Amino acid sequence: MAIEICMGSSCFARGAGGFPAVVREVLAGRDPALVAVVGCRCHDACAKGPSVRIDGRHHRVVDGDALRALLLAHLPADDAGSAP
Ligand code: FES
């Protein structure tokens, strides 16, 4: 799974700066080989931000709770705690 967090000024000003911490929290204990996380500049979706792409698909993520729910919906349920 590829997660791209927009760190452009518009998304950052609306809370995306806190998203990496949420991602780290959600991914804790999961196999790091299964997920790639990157911060990006503007996704050209400022009016629909804060923007997070998962496997190339845009999602408007209004806050950390919404991001947590989005990630959990995309992660395989049986992956939790599978990392050594
Ligand atoms: S700054 Fe995030 S989509 Fe433009």
What does the pLDDT look like over 63-82, one tens digit per residue? 999 999 999 999 987 555 54
Tell me the whole-structure pTM to 2 decimals.
Answer: 0.88
Q: How far apart are CA 1 and CA 40, in angstroms?
A: 16
Q: For residue 9, give the ligand 1 atom closest to its CA.
A: 1
Percent of the chain with pLDDT over 70: 92
Domains of the chain by residue range: 2-31+38-54+64-79
Q: How far is the CA of 23 from the centre of ligand 1 (A)?
A: 18
What does the pLDDT look like over 53-62, one tens digit per residue? 999 999 999 9
Nearest to 6 by CA among 36, 57, 45, 63: 45
